[in-house]
Amino acid sequence: MHVRRFINRFPVNVYPKVILMSLIVDVRTREEYVKNHIEGSINIPLFDLEYYIDFFKDKDLIFYCDSGNRSRIAVEYVVKRGIKATMIPPQELGKFKKEGKEIICAVNYLSVKPGLEKEFEEKTKELCRITVGMKGFLGSKIFRVSTISYGGSGLQGTYEDIDVKPNKYIMLTYWTSKKAHEQFHKEQVILKGFMSLMKYLSVMPYEEYGEIMR
């Protein structure tokens, strides 16, 4: 991006000297970034910073988040590693131009028959590869429930792994809108793909919409 065009995106009274040669880094989650972010900024979530230290070494950084907590931690983290960094105070964020778009999450809960997990996972991978090219698709995540959390469940006694049967999976897909997601389910290749999963399931699946909070 041309330097002058980049600077013109920001108020002249906010960090005029720093912004000229700095990289604006949003340290919130990818989903928060998609919803709304400072124009010209890049997204590197706080807990991924360790993978970018070499990239940061020749740059002056400006971090930001919503509350200032994550950006403060980010500054402390990179400064300890000899990298120049500052942060945008939360009260100053309103002075910056923003951009973003709607993002919603569709949540699928799936229970798979014992012994069919490997086949199910392979079929799911195939379906994910097809989904990548669909209009409005913004990514996905799949989780396999492994055991029960004693702390989170309030269980008593000594911790031990407890097998969860039948095996449960949680599939998250992100979309630009509910309309885009509903249209996705009307595609013949997708209908066929989902129907091919049914023989592996032990419980009728269901899906919910989730609003991205953080």
pLDDT digits 0-9 by tens, 108-162: 999 999 999 999 999 999 999 999 989 999 999 999 998 888 888 887 888 888 8
pLDDT in the model for residue 21 = 61
Query: Which tokens sit at 178?
Result: 């509910």
Nearest by Cα to 134 from 91, 56, 187: 187
21-35, 62-76, 141-155, 174-188: the lowest-pLDDT one: 141-155
CB 99 within 8 A of CB 37: yes
In this prediction, residue 2 has a pLDDT band, given cuts at 50, 70 and 90, of very low
Q: What is the pTM of this model?
A: 0.83
Q: Residues spanned by CATH 3.30.70.100 within the chain?
A: 104-211
Residue range(s) occupied by CATH 3.40.250.10 in the chain: 3-99
Residue 170 CA, distance from chain mean position = 15
Q: Phi-psi region for residue 27, left (φ > 0), alpha (ψ -120 to 50) or beta?
A: alpha
- For domain 3-99, the question of CATH label 2.40.128.110 is answered with no
- Categorize the per-residue pLDDT at 9 as very low, low, confident or very high, splitting at 50, 70 and 90: low
The vertex-128 CA angle with 208 and 135, nearest 5°, equals: 75
Q: Residue 19 has what pLDDT?
A: 55
Averaged pLDDT, 80-92: 95
- Span 200-214, average pLDDT: 90
Q: Which CATH class is domain 104-211?
A: alpha beta
Two tokens, residue 60: 């002056």
Indicate the pLDDT class of residue 5, thresholds 50, 70 and 90.
very low
What's the mean pLDDT in 27-40? 96
User: How far from 166 is each of 46, 117, 143, 149, CA to CA, in Å?
Assistant: 35, 10, 14, 17
Look at 22 and 210; give whichever has higher pLDDT.
Answer: 210
Q: For 1-57, list the strands marked E by DSSP.
A: 22-26, 37-38, 42-43
Q: What is the pLDDT of residue 103?
A: 96
Place of tokens 């309309």: 179
